Amino acid sequence: MERSILEIKVLKSYKELSSTVADIVEQQLKEHPLSKLVLPTGSTPLGMYKELVSRELDWSLVITFNLDVYLMNVDHPESYQSYMRKNLFDKTNIYPDHSHFPFRPTSVFEDKMDGSMGIDLCILGIGSNGHIAFNEPGSSFLSRTRVVDLDEQTIEDNSRFFDSVDDVPKQAITMGLGTIMESKKIVLMVSGEHKLNIMNVAMAGEVTESIPASILQTHNNVEVYYCD
């Protein structure tokens, strides 16, 4: 497995991080209106979505696939379906039929991506344990979209979005590492000093399934952006 240490582009602020990645998405949409995008959730991309909405881009031909979803009621305010509607979908002209979330049977979800001639751009974040999407430590580099049990660390980290840690879903459906790595271009957004160590290890250390994000070292088109 060939690998290369990934350059980390350090930005001055969260606003600059959000704007920089929004620039990449905007360029993709303007140059390729029929683009297929993989999109993240969580706190890090919120500024990017706000920036994209403010630019009033044409999303009418874009097809999106979300990285993962909790196994929970899709109308729950903390579901990732609700998150995407609130932060992007309801504020742009993207067609509802063009936005896809992982679902069961997962093989059918994978077929939808293959049928779209592959993913043009994938935006990722990284978890404090090195996960990307909900591919927790120990996930196979060849893994596909599937149901997973969430690590205790992930549940604890995500409890800030819920009333208590007991309310955090314990399972999710996630794109696999093998699925993500088929994207033509990947952009990793990292925000916060608490992510600095795991980012450095994942981008420059050993490529190992114990740090799922380390697989990005073997992709030929990855950009990494970080701010404190």
Residues 195/114, Cβ–Cβ less than 8 Å = no
Q: CB within 8 A of 204, min separation 6: which ones?
A: 5, 6, 217
The three-state secondary structure class of 225 is strand
Clarify whether 209 is annotated catalytic.
no
CA dist., res. 143 & res. 145, Å (int)? 7
Residue 125 sits at the vertex; the CA angle it makes with 95 and 47, to the nearest 5 degrees, is 60
**Residue of 110, 136, 157, 158 with catalytic role:** 136
The one catalytic residue in 66, 110, 120, 131 is: 131
Identify whether 228 is a catalytic site residue: no
Catalytic residue (choose from 51, 66, 68, 135):
68
Place of tokens 């049977």: 105
Active-site option among 129, 167, 209, 223: 129
CA 58, CA 74: separation in Å to the nearest integer? Answer: 26
> Is residue 136 flagged as an active site residue?
yes
- 194 included as an active-site residue: no
- Which active-site residues does the annotation give? 68, 129, 131, 136
